[in-house]
Structure 1
Amino acid sequence: MSLHVTIVHACRRAGRGGSPTAVVDETLLTAADRRTVPVAAGTSHAVFTSVEEHGPGRPAASLRFFTAAGELPACGHGTVAALAVLAERAQAREYEAVLRAGSRTFLGRATGGDNRYEAVFDPGPVRLRTPAAAESEPVLAALGMDPAEASAGCRIASVGRPRMLVQVADRHALADLAPSMPRLRAACDRLGLLGCYVYSTPSPDGRAAARMFAPSIGVPEDIANANSTACLAAHLAGHGLSALDVDMGDSLGQPSTIATIATRTRPGPAGPLIRVGGTASIATGISLI
C-alpha cells in the first residue's frame, strides 16, 4: 500500500530549523504499521488526521500520534504540524478547528498561507507537584546533575502524561548536559514519566532554552516539545510570568522556538489557561511504499 506523507517543520525559529513531523491522512493501518511511518519518513513523530464537520463553518479533526515506540495521547509539535496542513488544505488564512486527541476535545487555530502558518492550541489543564527525593534523585543522577543541588528546581508536570521539569542556571549549563540514556530511560520507566524537560532560568522578559529527553518513547532528545513547554508556562505563571518563549533544538542543529501565553486562571485546581504554539512550514510530500 502506498502512503502519502506530508513533512512539516514545526516550531521553526526565524525561518530555520523546526521539528520535522510526518502528517498522514487517517488510513487502515495497524498500530504496528503506524509505528513504522516516522522511521520511514525520517521524523521522530507522525500524526494521523481525520477531518469532519462540526457545526456551521467549523471543522473537527481527530489526531493520533505515533513514534517508533508506540502511540502517544498528545503531541504538541505534532498538533502544530497538523493544524498547518489542515489550514493549507482548507485554503484558509484563518483556520479554526475542534480537535480530538486521546480523550480530549479542544480548539486549535492556524493563520497564514503559502505553506507557512502560525499555529496555536489549548494543551489542556496542567497539574503540577513537587517530586519526592526518591523520584527526582535517579532522574538527576542520569542527567549527570547533583541531586543535592538540583532537586529544589524539579517539578512533576502532567498534561496527557507526566514528565519531570528540571531547572538549570543558564544556557551554558543546559548545553553541557550529557545524560546517560539507559539510566534515564530506566528511571523514567520506573516512575511512569514521559521524559525529562530541562530548562534554563528564564530572562525577565520570558525567554528561556530547554532540552527534552524522552528515551522511554523512542526519542532520546526531542527537537521541539510544545506540551512540556506548556507545562513550564503553567509552572512559571504561578510566579508571575504570563508570556514565555522557549528555544529548543540547538544541540541537534535544528533551532526551534515554542511560544506560550497564560491568559487567565481556570476554575478549580487546574491552574492557568495556556495557549501554546509556533511557526510551521509545510516542506514536501513523499510516498511510502
Structure 2
Amino acid sequence: MHIHSLRCFGARPGTGNPALVIEDGDQDPDVRLSLARARDTTCVFLDTSADGALVIDYYYPHKRSPLCIHATLAVAAVLLARDPYTGTIAVRTAVEGQRLELVRTGDDYFVRLSAQPVAAKDVGADTAAALLGVPAGSLATPPRVASIGSPKLLVKVTDTDALYGLAPDLARIAAWSKETGINGIYAWCRRDDGTFEGRNFNHLDPRLEDSATGVAAGALTALLGLGIRLRQGRATGGDCLIRTRMEGGAILVGGAVETF
C-alpha cells in the first residue's frame, strides 16, 4: 500500500484541505472506512478496473462518498506528476460511475465534469432559514438545489457578516439531508471584491465544518452560469481558495495542491 499526503485548495503554502491518496490498498470497503477513521482525514483509493479504467473511491472518516473534489485534485497531482506532458487523465468514480477528467493549468489542478440532474426539489426560504437559525427575510435570494455529483442546497446570504452569524441546527440539517437526498446546505455570499465566500453544513460536529467544498463550488458555478473564485475556511481557521471556470457545457473546479 502506497500513501500520498496532500493539501488541496490552499490560498497560500501550508494551507488547504488534507487528503490521502492510497494506491494498492485493501479492496474491502469496511477496511477503507476504518483507515479514514484512523487517519481522521479524507482518503481516496486509486484502483484499476477489469477493463483498465482508473477508478477512484472516496471515504470520509464518517462515511463513503460518491464524489469529493479536493480528494480528486490530490489524485490529479499524484498522477500528473508522473508524466508532466500528459494533457488529460480520465477517471471514473466508484460509487456512481461518474466520469471525470483531470487536468493541470499552470500551477493549479482541475477536475472537469458536468452539472448533474437533481431529483430533489428546491426548498422554501422558511425551511432553509429555520435550518440555518436565521429569519427567512435575511436570505438574499430563494434557495436552490444544484449538483455536479453531490447535491447541495445553495443559500445566498447578504454578506460575510451574515455568513458568519448563522446558527445552523446541525442535527436537523443531517436529518433533513437524509430525508431529501441533498448533501447538506452551502451558504454563500458575494464579496465586495467580486469574489465569493461560503460555508458548508453537513456534519453533526461543528469542529468538522469543511475548509473547502469543491462540490459546492461546482454546484454554485452551475447555478450562476459563470466561473468564480470562492473563499472558504475562515470558520475553521483555514484559508482556502477554489477556482472554477466553464468550458462549453463542462465545469472545471480546481486550485492549488501541495504535498506534505
TM value normalised by structure 1: 0.79
Structure 1 Cα separation of the partners of residues 247 and 40 of structure 2:
36
Q: Does 1:40 align with 2:38?
A: yes
What amino acid is aligned across from residue 121 of structure 1 in structure 2?
V
Q: Does 1:189 align with 2:178?
A: yes
Q: Deviations over 1:29-55 (max 9, x none)?
A: 321111122222231x11101358x9x
What amino acid is aligned across from residue 92 of structure 1 in structure 2?
P
Look up the match of 1:80: 73
Q: Does 1:103 align with 2:94?
A: no
Q: CA RMSD in A?
A: 2.7
Q: CA deviation at 1:78?
A: 0.9
Residues paired across the two proteins, number: 256
Look up the match of 1:28: 26
Gaps of 5+ in 1: 267-272, 284-289
Look up the match of 1:270: none
Structure 2 Cα separation of the partners of residues 177 and 259 of structure 1:
25
Q: CA deviation at 1:254?
A: 1.4
CA contact (8 A) 1:93 1:111 kept: no
What amino acid is aligned across from residue 247 of structure 2 in structure 1?
T
Structure 1 Cα separation of the partners of residues 20 and 71 of structure 2:
8
What amino acid is aligned across from residue 37 of structure 1 in structure 2?
L
* Equivalent runs, 1:112-261 vs 2, <5 Å: 117-127=107-117, 131-133=122-124, 137-150=126-139, 152-203=141-192, 205=194, 207-215=195-203, 220-237=208-225, 242-261=226-245
Q: CA deviation at 1:258?
A: 0.5
Structure 2 Cα separation of the partners of residues 40 and 69 of structure 1:
11
Taking a change above 3 Å as real, the CA distance of residues 17 and 214 of structure 1, as seen in their structure-2 partners, is: same
What amino acid is aligned across from residue 224 of structure 2 in structure 1?
L
Q: CA deviation at 1:203?
A: 4.6
Q: Percent identity, aligned pairs only?
A: 23
Structure 1 Cα separation of the partners of residues 206 and 166 of structure 2:
19
What amino acid is aligned across from residue 38 of structure 1 in structure 2?
A
What amino acid is aligned across from residue 275 of structure 1 in structure 2?
L
Q: CA deviation at 1:123?
A: 2.9
Q: CA deviation at 1:111?
A: 5.1
